[in-house]
Amino acid sequence: MKMHTALLLVLTAAAAGQANASSPDAWTAFNKTLVDSCVSASSLKNAKPAGADAAFDDSVGFNALLIKGQYKQALMKNKTGTELCLYDRKNKKALITEWDNVTTLPKK
């Protein structure tokens, strides 16, 4: 009888783990929310993702996504700009910062 109970506990735990796994539809919905939030928070016109997001683990709780578009200010003459969006999964909030010069080394 003990073997039967142990097997039942193992099977129940396995089924519970399966229930917690995200479905492909859930990942698609999350990705849409991430992109929509980042594009809405962007200060660029024609803002679009510049690639796939980078997901940090749950101890950090953020996804990072680069956004490309054009600056809205007339003096920028539609210059292309890049922003980094950090999406806070817990609070469902997108945070934006300019990201144009991160690969340019300062002149000496």
**Phi and psi of 101, rounded to 5°?**
-105, 20
C-alpha to C-alpha distance for 60 and 63, rounded to whole angstroms: 9
C-alpha to C-alpha distance for 99 and 3, rounded to whole angstroms: 59
Span of 1-5, 88-92, 94-98 with lowest mean pLDDT:
1-5
- pLDDT band for position 4 (50/70/90)? very low
Q: What does pTM read for this prediction? A: 0.76
Contact by Cβ (8 Å): 47, 37:
no
83 has which bridge partners?
A: 67, 98
First-residue to last-residue Cα distance in the chain: 78
- Inform me whether the pLDDT recorded for 26 exceeds 60: yes
C-alpha to C-alpha distance for 50 and 68, rounded to whole angstroms: 6
Structure confidence by residue, pLDDT tens digits, 29-84: 999 999 999 999 999 999 999 999 999 999 999 999 999 999 999 999 999 999 99
- Inform me whether the pLDDT recorded for 18 exceeds 60: no
C-alpha to C-alpha distance for 95 and 42, rounded to whole angstroms: 9
